[in-house]
């Protein structure tokens, strides 16, 4: 039988001090307990709550993402570090560009997440316009038909990635690597390809930066 994420678990804290709580007393645990402690005025209590939040799946990840706006820097830093996993990054990507870029700004300041690992992820058809993917590892990622208009892919590893039909208009692709990437029918109009490595990339039918169409 699947666990109820809102129920207290063995790692939750029980409400009480030196005096044992009454039989009808509340248990400071479960997802509700995490939410309660995140409303604490003490930053250390909010950090402790965040450390438990990953145990509660997407609901917990949402709480961590919200903590990127916490008034205390140490709480924001904790949230940033807790969002390093691939599942957490995919949850961030599904939010919006502002949320993702906010996390990237925090992570780069902390020297965490500079080489964001999104290798082999399926982002086909996603709206990723304006997203900051600088220095990201997107090797083997499926970005077919994705909207990457105006995105920052400077220094990204796009080797073996599927970018067929993707919109890369005005995208920053400086120093990006496209070894064996599929760029068929991609739109690269006004993209910055300075020192991008397009060796062995399949550019059949792609609209290049200058507006010309690459031969099939």
Q: Residue 98: inside a domain, yes or no?
A: yes
Number of domains making up the chain = 2
* CA pair distance 42, 73, nearest whole angstrom: 13
Q: Would you say residue 25 lies in a domain?
A: no
| Per-residue model confidence (pLDDT) at position 29 | 72
Domain boundary among 109, 141, 161: 109
- Residue 156 inside a domain? The answer is yes
Give me the torsion for CA of 188, 194, 195, 197, rounded to 10°. Answer: 0
Query: Helix-strand-coil percent breakdown of the chain, rounded to 5?
Result: 30, 10, 60
Does 1 reside within a domain? Answer: no
| Domain span at 163 | 115-216
Residue 7 covered by a domain: no
> What CATH number is attached to the domain comprising 196?
2.160.20.80
Residue 96 lies in a domain: yes
Residue 7: CB atoms within 10 A of its CB come to 12
Name the token pair of 103.
Answer: 């996390």
Res 2 pLDDT > 90: no
Domain assignment present for residue 36? The answer is yes
In a shared domain, residues 162 and 83: no
DSSP element (H, E) containing 102? helix 97-109
Q: What is the CATH number of the domain that holds 63?
A: 1.25.10
pLDDT digits (tens, 9 = 90+) for 10-54: 444 444 443 343 333 344 579 999 999 999 999 999 999 999 999
Average pLDDT of the chain? Answer: 88
Assess if residue 16 is contained within a domain. no
In tens, the pLDDT along 88-108 reads 999 999 999 999 999 999 888
DSSP code per residue over 33-73: HHHHHHT-S-HHHHHHHHHHGGGGHHHHHHHHHHGGG-SSH
What average pLDDT does the segment 47-65 reach?
95
pTM for the complete prediction? 0.81
Domain identity same for 163 and 105:
no
Tell me, what's the pLDDT at 4? 55
Q: Are residues 120 and 216 in the same domain?
A: yes
């Amino acid at each position: 039988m699947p666990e109820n994420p809102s129920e207290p678990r063995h790692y939750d804290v029980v409400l009480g001090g030196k005096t044992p709580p009454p039989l009808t007393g509340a248990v400071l645990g479960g997802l509700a307990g995490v939410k309660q402690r995140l409303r604490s005025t003490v930053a250390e209590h909010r950090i402790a709550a965040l450390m438990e939040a990953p145990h509660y799946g997407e609901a917990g990840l949402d709480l961590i993402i919200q903590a990127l706006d916490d008034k205390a820097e140490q709480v924001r830093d904790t949230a940033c570090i807790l969002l390093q996993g691939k599942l957490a990054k995919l949850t961030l990507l599904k939010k919006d560009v502002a949320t993702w870029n906010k996390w990237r700004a925090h992570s780069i300041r902390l020297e965490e997440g500079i080489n964001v690992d999104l290798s082999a992820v399926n982002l086909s058809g996603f709206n990723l316009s304006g997203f900051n993917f600088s220095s990201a590892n997107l090797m083997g990622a499926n970005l077919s038909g994705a909207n990457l208009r105006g995105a920052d892919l400077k220094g990204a590893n796009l080797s073996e990635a599927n970018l067929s039909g993707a919109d890369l208009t005005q995208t920053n692709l400086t120093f990006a690597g496209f070894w064996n990437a599929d760029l068929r029918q991609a739109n690269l109009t006004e993209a910055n390809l300075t020192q991008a490595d397009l060796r062995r990339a399949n550019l059949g039918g792609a609209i290049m930066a200058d507006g010309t169409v690459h031969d099939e």
